Amino acid sequence: MRTLSHFIDGRRVDGVSGRFSDVFDPNTGAVQAQAPLANAAELAAAVASAKAAQPGWAATNPQRRARVMFEFKRLLDVHMDELASLLSSEHGKVIADSRGDIMRGLEVIEFACGVPHLMKGDYTQGAGPGIDVYSMRQPLGVVAGITPFNFPAMIPMWMFGPAIATGNAFILKPSERDPSVPLRLAELMIEAGLPPGILNVVQGDKAAVDAILEHPDIKAVSFVGSSDIAQSVYARAAAAGKRCQAMGGAKNHGVVLPDADLDRAVADIIGAAYGSAGERCMALPVVAPVGEATADALRAKLVAAIEGLRVGVSTDPDADYGPVVSAAHKARIEAYIQMGVEEGAELVIDGRDFTLQGAEGGFFVGPTLFDRVTPNMKSYQDEIFGPVLQIVRVQTFDEGLQLATRHQYGNGVAIFTRNGDAARQFADQVEVGMVGINVPLPVPVAYHSFGGWKRSGFGDLNQYGEDGVRFYTRQKIVTQRWPSGGEVEQSFVIPTMR
């Protein structure tokens, strides 16, 4: 049995807490490795290494820091196949999708390569007589990121890309369910020229998160995961005086207007609902067709498309999606399917008891479709995070708009239509952070930023893009004058610009 490690001070370090977590192969159900679970002392060792290394890194000029990012980006390309297969073996997403996971992180690294420009301040000459004002952005020091299982490459890079490029040292606490890719990313950063201590990976569970939240030298915490934990991490970090952004769960809706191109919409919806077995915070697990005729036509096309889906092991190049991450998660998804049935929704396609020949122990859930789901059902209100698509029939555009707006989550939403007016009104009024117009997965590109509303996001700065730079830096404003000669004036009145 392989035993994984932490990555502290530039090298792999064995765990000493004596606690471990099983890492499964979701294709077979077998335990393939043990991940150490850090205690407070192990976290403190990583912070000490980070704290010692950070001032030197912050003092390294931004072009040199950017060069490390450029080289890291090159190494990601070189190691793409190795990383994708490692990712797929622990997460269960198919190889092509694993490459997508890495690519979306790589795109944030590309953005971080622009750090010399991104950290430039503003300058006002002559703000007063002989007075100039300028601003600068400085790193916070040691910062931490806590990441979920479903994007073990992309989300760590969302965080450590901008954090490290701007001169911080970073402690990454990845998901204990797929901890190997984060370790390899840290090794590649060292190979790219990053000094030891600037990126540390501390494997762990709640105990490691508690240690992060309690450590006085950690100045900011970025969290991505489920909403209850996100909210609690946000509250505790804020109470400890740390800057915090905490992204939570989701239940994204796709509103389908009667004028939509249904064939395109169905292709988009199927990919977004079932891709990665629905284990994406930007998945599309709810569709709201407007009007009965649209609903009936959409349902018929969805059923036909689902019948053509291929579920397979994550290494199968023809599989549309693979297993879910764990037996516990499979059981949870199946319990939600049962709940939907008991709540009175119409189970059109049942993905329970799906087995794959030759991989009977794997954590597979077949594609599932519900119709006539209603907003009062708990199976609608909760995030299921599996390959389960729910049709909620609405009668008007406004009802569709309100459905997405009233949901407790507000991560992403999509509208399918040919009507520009309706799309524009929808984008303007819907209370959701990221909107797709005929785009099923509106994950913003790396130079915008990512964040949901309501219970999908706590804190006020998004992930990556310019918000990422703001989150990991603090601004200092300098007002200066260099008087030479003239009278010495004294005033007890607040200076104004009159």
CB of 416 to ligand NAD, least distance (A): 22
Residues 6+ apart with CB under 8 A from 108: 154, 157, 158, 161, 162, 446, 464, 468
Is residue 21 a contact point for ligand NAD (CB under 6 A)?
A: no
Q: Which is nearer to ligand NAD, 104 or 393 (CB)?
A: 104
Catalytic residue, from 35, 281, 401, 432: name it: 281
Q: Which is nearer to ligand NAD, 151 or 416 (CB)?
A: 151
Q: What angle do CA 374, 376, 381 make, to 5 degrees?
A: 90
Contact with ligand NAD (CB under 6 A): which of 274, 385, 416, 458? 385
Q: Which is nearer to ligand NAD, 248 or 351 (CB)?
A: 248
Is residue 105 a contact point for ligand NAD (CB under 6 A)?
A: no
Contact 314, 27 (CB under 8 A): yes
Contact with ligand NAD (CB under 6 A): which of 15, 92, 105, 249? 249
CB of 473 to ligand NAD, least distance (A): 21
CB of 450 to ligand NAD, least distance (A): 6
Per-residue binder mask for ligand NAD (CB under 6 A), 220-239, x = binder: ----xxx--x----------
Q: Which is nearer to ligand NAD, 293 or 331 (CB)?
A: 331
Q: Which is nearer to ligand NAD, 397 or 458 (CB)?
A: 458
Return the residues of window 427-466 that contact ligand NAD according to CB under 6 A.
452, 456
Is residue 247 a contact point for ligand NAD (CB under 6 A)?
A: yes
Residue 198 — φ and ψ, nearest 5°? -80, -30
Binding piece for ligand NAD, criterion CB under 6 A, among 159-167, 201-209, 331-339, 347-355:
201-209
Binding piece for ligand NAD, criterion CB under 6 A, among 71-79, 124-132, 244-252, 346-354:
244-252
Q: What type of residue sits at position 289? A: P
Q: Which is nearer to ligand NAD, 209 or 302 (CB)?
A: 209
Is residue 212 a contact point for ligand NAD (CB under 6 A)?
A: no
Q: Which is nearer to ligand NAD, 150 or 449 (CB)?
A: 150
- Kind of pairing, strands 169-173 and 142-146? parallel
Contact with ligand NAD (CB under 6 A): which of 10, 105, 141, 148? 148
Tokens coding 79: 């190691």
CB of 232 to ligand NAD, least distance (A): 7
> Helix/strand/coil (H, E, C) string of the chain?
CEECCEEECCEEECCCCCCEEEEEECCCCEEEEEEECCCHHHHHHHHHHHHHHHHHHHHCCHHHHHHHHHHHHHHHHHCHHHHHHHHHHHHCCCHHHHHHHHHHHHHHHHHHCCHHHHCCCCEEEEEECCEEEEEEEEECCEEEEECCCCCCCHHHHHHHHHHHHCCCEEEEECCCCCCHHHHHHHHHHHHCCCCCCCEEECCCCHHHHHHHHHCCCEEEEEEECCHHHHHHHHHHHHHCCCEEEEECCCCCEEEECCCCCHHHHHHHHHHHHHHHHHCCCCCCCEEEEECHHHHHHHHHHHHHHHHCCCECCCCCCCCCECCCCCHHHHHHHHHHHHHHHHHCCEEEECCCCCCCCCCCCCCCCCCEEEECCCCCCHHHHCCCCCCEEEECCECCHHHHHHHHHHCCEECEEEEECCCHHHHHHHHHHCCCCEEEECCCCCCCCCCCCECCEECCEECCCCECHHHHHHHCEEEEEEEEECCCCCCCCCCCCCCCCC
Contact with ligand NAD (CB under 6 A): which of 12, 64, 120, 206? 206
Is residue 149 a contact point for ligand NAD (CB under 6 A)?
A: yes
Contact with ligand NAD (CB under 6 A): which of 98, 150, 245, 326? 150
Query: Would you call 281 a catalytic residue per the annotation?
Result: yes
Q: Which is nearer to ligand NAD, 225 or 367 (CB)?
A: 225
Contact with ligand NAD (CB under 6 A): which of 76, 118, 164, 209? 209
Is residue 387 a contact point for ligand NAD (CB under 6 A)?
A: no
Is residue 175 a contact point for ligand NAD (CB under 6 A)?
A: yes
CB of 452 to ligand NAD, least distance (A): 5
Size of the residue set binding ligand NAD (CB under 6 A): 26
Per-residue binder mask for ligand NAD (CB under 6 A), 256-295, x = binder: -------------------------x--------------
Tokens coding 410: 């507000």
Catalytic (active-site) positions: 281
User: Residues in the site for ligand NAD, rule: CB under 6 A?
Assistant: 146-151, 173, 175-176, 205-206, 209, 224-226, 229, 247-250, 281, 383, 385, 411, 452, 456
